[in-house]
Structure formats: structure tokens, C-alpha cells
Structure 1
Amino acid sequence: MQTTILFSIIGLLYLNSAAFAKLDMAPPNFTINKGQGNAVFVDFTSADYEITYDVKKATTTVISKIHFTNEERGFPIFDLVEKPMRVVIDGKSTDSQIIEAPRSGEDELIEFRIVSEPIDPGNHLLVIEHQIKSTQYSKGGVNSGFFMSDIGSRALLERYLPCNFEYDQLSMRFMIKVIGATEEEVIFTNGKLKQEGNNLWSIAFPNYFNQSSVYFHIREKAGTDILHFEHRSIDDRNMPITIYKTSRGDMEEYKNLTVKTLSKFENLFGAFPHPTLTIYIGGNGGGMEYSGATVTDAWALPHELAHSFFGRGVMPANGNAGWIDEAMATLVGGPYAADPNDIRAMNMSNHSVYYRDNDSNGYTYGMNFLAFLGIQFSKKNNALNMNGFLKTWMEIADHHVTTVQMLQNNLENYSQLDLNSLFQKYVFGKSKIINKFNLPNPHMKIDDETLTQIQ
């Protein structure tokens, strides 16, 4: 009874953090331009992206309209890898620039983009126009995917669109327009897709999404093998599933593995936490997760489906929390087996507060650490185990962002154990061992060559 009450309280804290305190999870603002002002993190309240593909000109132009609030005067922080052609803040033309975050320890260079105009606290409208350079055009059509990676910095949605950071959840809407296409196009997405006209579509994404959630892929329908079916979820809904790939062949292998894995995870952790599931078999040796979607190969599919629960169901609020979902997804979905006897004192969460990478030790030592904790829980009470914790955590934290401290608090409330010394040693330690096992990473790194292959 005591554990149930404590988890109910933590659940209320998750609800409050998502609804009222997004900026409480943002990193600290910091001084730039030799003391001329502060770079300030902001709260995006909505983002509308008008994306135009011009087949004859082979150009992809995006006009973004972003409503946001800030609590302190300063230069608003956001990110976009491509340099904008036009920046307008509250009707005033300005510019943007790349800045460096304050350095901490051995962490590498961390960059953000800011609006070059300082603004007062309040509600604001930011309009940005830019072009996406990675689109592939043929004589009659377009192939464009917003494929992301958590291997390396600045490789999530900011690779394609101006966006905020993982702590921020918001409503996003795409308006997709294709000009001059003679080939039929098809769109795959984890948002709500609506045909608005000839070669004109809108996509509305759920308001719990953040910069790592969105899945979008438009490509020529010819040469795309598509399978649609439904899965009877544990909550009695018929969940639409789409599996597609760019090569012909039997899709039953992927369908059977998907249904088998979903049934296993739903029995362990509850109903699949998203309205639909989209799977692109094109992982180029690995995969990447989105909220209710994945790019993957068959060997990594269970790992990537686990991420729709852990990582894109309960989502990391920052880079220091990035190891959590990799540890959980690998523990329950492979492709490696946990060794609870092999845990190491190391730094997985003691990076800079501005850290934007994903500590690769989560796949191995992070997974082993969770397995070790599960054994300690069972020693205290044989009714407790790590799968039991993960099920309860999904019930209270699904569709919210989390920090390492929130994870520790939840683990302690579930087990009634003091885990502080263990976290200080095995999570916030000083040693830095990078993927010592030299195992293949279930995730793929997105570079220009990979984009060419999978779009």
C-alpha cells in the first residue's frame, strides 16, 4: 500500500511537470557575447511547418511559424543545423547565429543556435525560412525522410527543421506541398495524416511529442512495398500497423516478428503507448526509434519497438538522461544479454548540463546496472523485479519527459531502498569507458551517405 501511494504522488509530479513546468527541466541560461547578454532557453507552445518540395527546381523550402514564451530577457535559444535564409521575431527582421555552450570537463564542443535579437519575457512569434539540402529528387518525384540519430550531437529534428530541445513537448503541424511531380507520392508518418488537395497534405502530431518523436517520410510510391494490417492490442483497440520497404520480397517475416514482440511487451508493460505503429525496413545495418515508428533491420526490431515504450513513450529530458532508455530497451529487447555481475563505476550522467549526445555505455553497463538493481529488489521482496518496475513506471510516466533524478526517485519508491550511493558510483562516477565491449550498435548514424541509401 505504501509503495502504491508513493507512486501515485510521483505520478502527479510527472503530470505537473509536463503541464506547467517545461522550463524547469531546461538547462541554465548562460552569458554570451562577452557579457552583452544571456542566451535563454524558451518554451515552444506550437510549431507549424510549411514544407514545399519543388520537383522541377529540385528545392525544398520550409517556412516555420513558432510560438514560444520566455521567462527572462535575452537571446532565444533554439536549433537548426542549416543556416536560415530569413528570420523574423515578432514582425522584426533579424538573423541567427551559432553559439557554444560553456565547457565542462572532457565533454566535446556543444553548439546551439540563437536569435540575434534579445527579447523581453513574454509570448513571441518566430518565423524562419530555410532550405533542406538532403532531399533526393528524380525527374518526376521526391524522396525525403526526416531520419534522425542519437549517435552524435545535433542529429535529431534540428537536422531538418528549427526546433526546441528534448525537455519541451508541444503541438506540431506539417503542411506538405509537392509542386511539379508526375510520380505518385506516398507519406509515412506517426502523426495524423490528411489529404488536403492534389499533392497537398497536413500532418498533426500529438502534443506529447518532442524533438525526437516525429517520424516523416515522403517517397515515390512506385518501388515501395507496403503492408497494412491491424494488431489487437491488450486494451482492446485495433491498432493500425504499416510495414514498408524499398525492395520487393516477403513481408511475413517482419509482420510475425512485430506481432510476437508487441504481444510480449504489452503483456509485460501494458498497452502500446501510441495510436499507430509504422516500421520502415531500411535500417542500413541498425535502426532508430520514434514515437510509434522505427527505421530498422529485422535483428534490431525488438530493440526499436521497446523504445516506443522506453525512450519515445517515457522520454529523456536531456542528454544526461539519454542512457536510460538505451539501457531499458536493450534489457528487454536485446540484442545483447545483460550481465548483472559486470557493472562499472563510470560517468553516464555527470556530463555538462548542456550535453546533447547519448552516452553509449547505456547499451551495456547501463543495462547491466538495471539488471543488478532488479536482483537487489528481489532480494528485499521476491514480489519485486525490474520488469515490475518498468510496468509501473510506464503507468505513471508515459508521454512525459524524465531526468535521471526522477528515475532514481521512482526506483527508490518502488523498492523502498536507498540507491543514492549506487547511483553516485555507477551513474554519476568519473570513469569514462566508451562501448568497451565493441559490440555492434543497434542504432545507425545518419550521415549524407546513409540518407542517400534509405530515402
Structure 2
Amino acid sequence: MEGSTGAGSTGTASTGEADDCRAGDLLVAPLPVMVDGALAVPIDVLELRGEFRLDVAAQTTEAYARLRFAIAEAGRPIFDLRQGTVTEAILDGEAIDAEAMPERDLGGGPGAQMRVLGVELPACSEHTLELRYPVTKLAGFAAAPPDFAVDGVTWDFGFSDLAPRMFLEQWLPANLIHDRHPIALTLEIVGAPAEQRVISNGEISELGPDRWAIDFPAYSTAQSTMLVVVPASRVESSSQMLMAGDAPAIAVELHRTLATPESSAQLHALLADAFQSFSMSTGDYAYPRFTAYVAINKGMEYDGGTTAAVFALPHELFHSWYGRGARPMHARDGWIDEAWDEYNTGDPMFPVVALGIDDPVVRLHDGNPWGRTTPFAAYDDGKLLFAAVAAEVGVQPLRDSMRDFYEAHALGQMTSEELEQHLACSLAAPAVRWLFHRFVYGLPGDPEPAPDGYCR
């Protein structure tokens, strides 16, 4: 592996105050917290580089990560990594104790803990943390590590938003999903007995035999990166250009496992119909291509990509509009895309159901800055929330308003509060505030009156 050390910044603090350098994604990060008698502070990831070396004969995977980050307040930086055996840790070119990054519950509850680096760093400073570790099976609910077989290796990053710590932090150091930054991966497979297929929504470049670089753009988050490695003999790969409305043609890269009953032609037709429908109803597709890995028992969305079973393809594709097109700012906003996706793709589609004071309150938006899970209730109760808005204003005005909201947030981030304000104002529907108060924030009674200038 080629990770070089000593390449970080000096970590020298600026003369400004913390408030002066709290910018970019730090503006929407959680506040610092006291941990073990010291101040633990959020970071702004500036760049992440990761390298994986998969040795088929030895059946081992080694990882190297280089995380460049900034902090505003002085304190101990917060990040996450679920891989447990760090063998080497280097901060700004100097070796540090590889065990001095304990997991701590910062307020997110059991299973949502993060790591706190046991080194005090000055305010308004930039740093580089380098880590080496073997990639191993994780305890609890997690994706499987690389699986080695006679025909090569199978590995799926395997993200999920239904349990905490199920994004990139399974494999590489990462931050919460508000943090946007470029990601560059290098993958090497040693001793593969046959051709391997590397499938990703990133830009893949071949560096040599069984060695690839995969680059992801500056708006990527810990939710963004799709990576699947599989022996080429197990998949059928094809590509098709799609025209959706007046937008530029979109390349659909389809990788179908041979165990999938449907043919590639059938799957391309399914995707083409869904692309046309979603583009017409929701807005232009935000990415230059869509990458689909179709296999049994899959179902996860990524930026312009999915790993999905056939029945889940329309749902996962719609997430490239809501979920990974317009993205939740925080985990507490993740209910939006699941709820609106189900309203558009689930059975029945576009329901109209009134909700009233006799219906029990529902909490979809946790409000906890350290929460890391989309609630299961987002699928059904979240869908009902939109059905209740439709009961107030009609289905088509609601869909038109959600199209406007998507177009204003494509490749950006959205919050529950922004959506509430948009729907209440664009639809001239004061009842939206009451519906959100009771069936999103889970609060009894009536909301406070809208502030002056709420609808400008």
C-alpha cells in the first residue's frame, strides 16, 4: 500500500477566535461536548483518502486512511471508525497512541457512539490523521467484510440508514452526514484467480492489473460512496443511454447478477420507464450517470447509484431525486426522503388521508444532533404525513411543490424545518405547520404562530 506519512499540516492555530473560523460544514455541526473531563469538538473533513489491499491467498484486507480536517474550537476532535484494531496512527507526521481514540456516547444513545481522539488540538487549525488497520468483521449489525472464494473476492460497502454507524465509518474514518468533502479510494486485489468486477458510482480509473482508483466529488458525504467488488463471472454488465425530458442523456450502467431471473433488457426497460416518470414529476436527474447492481436481498441508495433487488429498483432509483439528490442535512431529516419516496413509489401511490386531533402524535424528527438513524416510522407514518397534506391542498399541488423543493435543493441539503416552511408557504396552507408539529416533531397541542416574515 502506498500511504505516505508526514504529509499533514503543522496544526498551528490561527490568531482568530473560534467563531471566526467556524465556517462551511462546521456551521451545521453539533456543538462541542464534554467527554472524560475534556472538550470534544466537531471536525470539518477537508479530504479523505483510503486505500484497500485485498489479498486473496492470505484472505486478508489491509486499509490505510488519510483524513485531513479542520476544527474551530480547541479540544479533542470527534470522528468515527468502526474498525477496531488500529495498528498505526499518525497525527501531523508524528506517531500517536493507536488506542487513544475511544468510542464515546456523545448523546446519540446506544449504538450511535463516535470516537474522540485523545489529543488536545488548538482552535482554528487544520490537521492530518493517518491510520492503518486490518479490515475485519464488525460486531453487531453491519455489512460483511470482503469474502474470499475460489473465483476471487466479493465485497459490498453495504450501507444502511436504519441502524447507526452503517455508512462509510464501517470501513474508513468518517464524519456525520452533514459534512461534504472529496473522497479518493484506491483498491488493489492481490492474487485474484480470475477477473474481478469493480462497481461504483464514483469515477473508476484502472491503475494497473487488479488495481483501481475511485474518485468521488467534493459534495460527497459518508452516505455517498457505493462500492461493490465481485468476480466478473458472476455478473452481466451492460450500459444504455437514456433521454429523460429535455435533460442531457444519462448513462445507465447495469450490473446484473446471473442469479437474477429478469434479463438485462427487462431491467433496462424498467429503469427507463422509471427515469422518464421521475424526471417528469420531480425534476431533472442530477447526475451524469446511474449505476445499478441488481442482486437478491439488496436495497440501498447512493449518489446516482443503487444496490437493489428487482422489486426495490423504482424505490431506490427515486432516491437519486430525494435522498441522494436533495439530501437530508442530518440523520433527523432522513425521514423526508423515505416518506416522500414511499408516497411516490409505494402501494398505494399518492394517497389522500386526513389526520386530526384524535390521531396519535408521531415523532419522525428526533432533534438529537448526535442521532444517526432514520426511524422505521418514516416509511408508513411519514407517507401518511404527506397524504394528510394532500388532503388539505390536493395531490397535484403537493407534487408540484415537492418538485420545486427538489429543484431548489438538488445536490444540496434539506432540513425538516425548511420543508415545513416551503410547503406551508408555497401551498398557502397554514395547516402544514400543525401537521408537522404533531406528526413530524411529535408534539401535542398547537405550534407557535408563524413568525413575522415567515412566508416572504
Which TM bucket (shorter chain)? 0.7 to 0.9
Task: Compute the displacement of 1:109 (Å).
Answer: 4.9
Q: In the alignment, is the contact (CA less than 8 A) between 1:42 and 1:69 conserved in 2?
A: yes
Distance 1:98 1:283 in 2: 34
1:40-99: CA deviation from partner (whole Å, max 9, x where unpaired):
111101111111111222111111111111101111111111112222221222231101
Would you say the 8 A contact 1:87–1:96 is kept in 2? no
Aligned to 1:61: 62
Q: Report the alpha carbon displacement of residue 26 of structure 1 after superposing the two structures with TM.
A: 1.4
1:100 aligned partner: 105
How far apart are residue 351 of structure 1 and its match? Answer: 4.5
**Which residue of 242, 247, 259 maps to 2:272?**
259
Aligned counterpart, 2:403: 391
Q: Offset at 1:344?
A: 4.4
8 Å contact from structure 1 (residues 344, 365) kept in 2: no
Tell me what 2:228 maps to. 217
Which residue pairs with 1:438 in the alignment? Answer: none
**What SS does structure 1 have at the residue aligned with 2:340?**
helix
Specify which structure has the bigger relative contact order, considering alpha-carbon pairs within 8 angstroms and separated by 6 or more residues.
Answer: 1
The aligned amino acid for 1:261 is A
Mapping for residues 282-321 of structure 1, pairs under 5 Å: 282-284=295-297, 287-321=299-333
Q: 1:357 aligns with which of 361, 368, 373?
A: 373
> Pairwise mapping of residues 19-418 of structure 1 onto structure 2 (< 5 A)?
21-33=24-36, 35=37, 37-83=38-84, 84-94=86-96, 95-102=100-107, 108-121=110-123, 122-133=125-136, 134-139=145-150, 141-247=152-258, 249=261, 250-284=263-297, 287-337=299-349, 338-341=351-354, 344-378=360-394, 385-418=397-430
The 8 Å contact of residues 98 and 114 in structure 1, kept in 2 or not, is answered as: yes
The alpha carbon displacement at 1:120 in A equals 1.3
| 1:180 partner letter | G
Change (3 A) 1:373 1:108: farther
1:294 and 1:304 in contact (8 A); partners too: yes
Deviation at 1:411, TM superposition (A): 1.9
CA drift at 1:21: 2.9
| Distance in 1, Cα, partners of 2:424 & 2:88 | 49
Structure 2: tracts of 5 or more residues without a match: 1-21, 137-144, 445-456
Superposition deviation, residue 125 in structure 1: 0.6
Structure 2 distance, partners of 1:413, 1:44, is 35
In 1: Cα distance, 2:423 partner to 2:92 partner = 45
My pick for the range that moved more, 368-377 or 326-335, is 368-377
Could you tell me how far 1:141 is from its partner in structure 2?
2.1
Kindly indicate whether the alpha-carbon contact (under 8 Å) linking 1:283 and 1:295 is maintained by their aligned counterparts in 2: no
SS at match of 2:233: coil
How far does residue 272 in structure 1 lie from its aligned partner after superposition? 1.3
Kindly indicate whether the alpha-carbon contact (under 8 Å) linking 1:170 and 1:209 is maintained by their aligned counterparts in 2: yes
Distance 1:330 1:261 in 2: 14
What is the CA distance between 1:353 and its match in structure 2?
Answer: 2.3
The 8 Å contact of residues 352 and 391 in structure 2, kept in 1 or not, is answered as no
Q: Deviations over 1:408-429 (max 9, x none)?
A: 2222332234433332211111
The one-letter code sitting in structure 2 at the alignment partner of 1:423 is: F
Q: Deviations over 1:380-432 (max 9, x none)?
A: xx9x612111211121111112221122222233223443333221111159x
Number of residues paired by the alignment? 403
TM-score, length basis structure 2? 0.84
Q: What is the one-letter code of the residue matched to 1:428? A: Y
Q: Distance in 1 between matches of 2:443 and 2:434?
A: 14
1:424 to 430, 437, 449: 437
Distance 1:375 1:326 in 2: 20
Are the counterparts in 1 of residues 48 and 68 from structure 2 also a CA contact under 8 Å? yes
Residues 1:335 and 1:163: Cα distance change in structure 2 (over 3 Å): farther
- Whole-angstrom CA distance in 1 between matches of 2:29 and 2:89: 23
User: Shift of the alpha carbon at 1:158?
Assistant: 1.0
Name the SS of the counterpart of 1:364 in structure 2.
Answer: helix
SS in structure 1 of the partner of residue 104 of structure 2 = strand
Question: Cα RMSD over matched residues?
Answer: 2.1
Secondary structure of 1:234's aligned partner: coil
User: Larger deviation: 235-244 or 113-122?
Assistant: 235-244
Distance 1:56 1:113 in 2: 33
Percent identity (aligned): 24
Mapped to 1, the partners of 2:425 and 2:35 lie a distance apart of 41
Task: Measure, in 2, the Cα distance between the counterparts of 1:236 and 1:24.
Answer: 34
How far does residue 117 in structure 1 lie from its aligned partner after superposition? 1.2
Q: Which has the higher helix share?
A: 1
Distance 1:235 1:61 in 2: 46
Q: CA deviation at 1:29?
A: 1.5
Structure 1 stretches of 4+ moved >6 Å: none
User: One-letter code of the match for 2:318?
Assistant: A
Secondary structure of the structure 1 residue equivalent to 2:163: coil
